[in-house]
Structures are given as structure tokens and as C-alpha cells.
Structure 1
Amino acid sequence: MKLEVKTFDNAASGDIELSESVFGMPARADILHRVVTWQLEKRRATARGARERSDVARTGKKLGNQKGGGVARHGNRAAPQFTGGGKAHGPRVRDFDPGLNKKIRRLGLATALSVKAAEGKLMIVENLTLGEAKTKTLIARLAGLGITSGLFIDGDAVDQHFGLACANLHKIDALPAIGANVYDILNHDTLVLTRAAVASLEARVNG
């Protein structure tokens, strides 16, 4: 698969050959769903559990006589109705740490990249070099490229000026190649890769 490469000023800069095993995979909604679900569950912290009756250290001595006291016949201070007692039917500890093997994760990444390529929403640029960390300058560049919602993926590290300039722009995000993931790719209209990012992603998926 061959795609045109542009500069960040929207000028032609040659072509690039993309691997079919990374950018030409068939769309698999089931794979994308599995990977996105795995990603979102990995974000969740362990749910806190409440101390129930058996977890509270209180006396088990009977409070009074069985009869004749004129009050309820309580037998344990850990009962839920007492202050300091255990919680009745409280929340249990839940750990959201699902597993997903690397083969499915790699397939999910390749599928997400292929979906963007098939939709015509994949753009390749030489680099993300921005002369100054000015949001106004970046907005002008994005307007020239026709991007209002885009994920920019660079090589080993994102250009410092670009990262600062896009920090407060809605729906404009930048990641190094190692941080590329299915959820963020699908959550933006346009995917913009540098030449270095293409090489890193192909090595990551095929590795």
C-alpha cells in the first residue's frame, strides 16, 4: 500500500510504502471491542470493600438478659444496627485487571490502523517539528491540513514544541509510537503518523 507523504506545511514530500500486514488488515469489530474493553478496564482501580459483620472486631457478649429487660434481645455488638457495627450487604472488593494476550493486542492495533487507512483518514507527514511552542501557529498548520480532531503519533518522542502547543487544544493529541493504542486511534477522526512512527508501529506489530 502506497501513501503520499506531506510536510507539516501541507506540501508534497514523496511517497511511503505501508505494510499490508499492519495497514491492510480486514475490519474486525470483535477484535476492536475486546481490546478497547481491556484498555478501559485496565484504567479502573480496585473497588474498595466495606467491613461486614464478620470483619468488625467487637464483643460477642450478650448485651442483657433474654427476657425481662423490655428491649430487643441483642447478642452481638457487631450487628449492623449498632454504631461501629459491620455493614449489611456492603460492597465487595472487585479487582479490574483483565488479561489479554499479546497476539490479540497486536491484531487490535493493526486492525485500528487498517480501519483508518481504509476510511481515508490516515495521513503521513515527514515529522511534527514546530519552530515554536505557539498554539496559534499550530492551529494555522492544522487548518492547512484540514484537521479538527486528530491523533498525532511520532517516533521515539514527540517534538517538544508540538507537545506544548497542542496541550490545550480539544481533540488534538500527540503520542510517541510506544504509546499508540486502539482506544485513542478510534477516538479521533484523523490519524497522523510520521515516517518514524510508521517504522516503529510496523516493527511493533510484526515483532
Structure 2
Amino acid sequence: MKVQILNLDGTAGKGEVELSEAVFGVEPRADILHRVVTWQLEKRRGTARKARERSDVARTGKKFGNQKGGGTARHGDRAAPIFIGGGKAHGPRVRDFNPSLNKKVRALGLKMALSSKAKAGLVIVDNLDIGAKTKALVAELGKANWGRKVLVIDGDAVNDNFAKAARNIIGVNVLPAIGANVYDILKHDTLVLTRSAVEKLEARFNG
């Protein structure tokens, strides 16, 4: 699959890049993408620290006061939630948010996400060379008209000047090739890959 290389302003660049059909030509399946996205979001969740409830608090169970005549409520246990040092009422409990997903399914999901963008919403640029000025990058991307949400993926490391220029632009996110993931790819309107990113992603699956 050959794709024309573009410049950051959307104009045609020099040459074309050959994309691997095994990585960018896979037919997307909604069930696989859903499984991978669900797995990603579950992995992000933190485990709540368990609170001590009424049965976990070490306090006396002896009734402290008369049933009648004290002028107060008829309490029977100091571990009740209304007392300082008592158990927590309906406190957080430990829950497991660490699901497992086969590596082959995760790899297939990433291929499908890349392939879905290859059909519509994939842009290949030669490099991300630009001055570290947000105003200049906004002007370039404004000409390109790639949508409100743009994900830019570079090679081993993101171009430092580009990262500095893009960090204050709402809707533009930048990742190195190693950080490419299904959720971020799907939630953006346009996926921008550098030549280096294409090489790294294809090597990731071939290796």
C-alpha cells in the first residue's frame, strides 16, 4: 500500500512510503477493538485502599450506659460509624482492576486500529522538523485542516522542538512509536506518522 508523503501544512511532500499490508491492511473488527480498549481503560484504574468497617474495628462491644434514664440515645457498641474511632459506613473495598488479555489479541487490536486509520484519517510526514513556536505550528496545522483531534507519532523519541510547540495546543497529542496504543489512535480524528514511526511500528510486529 503506497501513501503520498505530506508536509505539516497538508501540501504534498516528496515521494511515497510503502505501508505493510500485514500492519496497515488488516480488516478491523469491532469486537477485538472493544476488548483491547476495555482492557486499556481497566488497566488505568487504581485500586482503592480498603477502609475498616464496623466488623474490622477493635473496640469494645460492651454496652456503655443504661437503656433508659441517661438522657442520650441507646447505644450498644462503640464500633458504630457515628463514633470517633468507629468503623466506616459503606467505605471503599478492594476491587481487582487488573484484567488479562492475550498478547496476540493486543497486537491484533493495534494493527486493526492502524488499519482503520489507513482507510481514512492517516497522514504520513517525512519528519517533524519545525521551530519550537506554538504559533508557527498552529498556522501549519490550520492550513492542513486535519480535524480537531490529531495524534502525532514519531520514532524512538519525539522531535523536541515539535513537542514543545505542540504541548499547548488543545487537541494535538504527541507520542513516541513505543507508546502507540489502540485507545489513543481511535479517539483522534487524524493519525500522523513520521517515516521513522512507520518503520518502528512495522518492526514492532515483524520482530
Determine the structure 1 residue equivalent to 2:169: 169
Preserved CA contact (<8 Å) 1:128 1:194: yes
Runs of 4+ in 1 over 4 A off after TM superposition: 67-71
The superposition leaves residues 39-85 of structure 1 with CA deviations (integer Å, 9 ceiling, x where unpaired) of: 112221112322112221212334356x77667372x3213343321
Amino acid at match of 2:153: I
**Structure 1 residues 174 and 88: CA distance shift in structure 2, 3 A:** closer
Amino acid at match of 1:111: M
Structure 1-normalised TM-score? Answer: 0.89
Determine the structure 2 residue equivalent to 1:123: 123
How far apart in 2 are the matches of 1:81 and 1:157? Answer: 55
- 2:23 match: secondary structure: helix
How many percent identity over aligned positions?
A: 65
- 1:104 match: secondary structure: helix
Give how far 1:20 is off: 0.9
How far apart in 2 are the matches of 1:90 and 1:61? Answer: 24
1:181 aligns with 2:160: no
- 1:94 match: secondary structure: coil
Determine the structure 2 residue equivalent to 1:12: 13
Determine the structure 1 residue equivalent to 2:142: 143
**Structure 1 residues 84 and 17: CA distance shift in structure 2, 3 A:** same
Determine the structure 1 residue equivalent to 2:89: 88
Give how far 1:116 is off: 0.6
Aligned residues: 203
Q: How does 1:25-36 map to 2 (within 5 A)?
A: 25-36=26-37
Structure 2-normalised TM-score? Answer: 0.89
C-alpha RMSD of the superposition: 2.0
How far apart in 2 are the matches of 1:161 and 1:153? Answer: 14
The superposition leaves residues 62-116 of structure 1 with CA deviations (integer Å, 9 ceiling, x where unpaired) of: 4356x77667372x32133433211234331223222222111111110000001
Question: Which 5+ residue runs of structure 1 have no aligned equivalent?
Answer: none
How far apart in 2 are the matches of 1:73 and 1:193? Answer: 68
**Structure 1 residues 60 and 3: CA distance shift in structure 2, 3 A:** same
Determine the structure 1 residue equivalent to 2:200: 200
Preserved CA contact (<8 Å) 2:4 2:12: no
**Structure 1 residues 181 and 73: CA distance shift in structure 2, 3 A:** closer
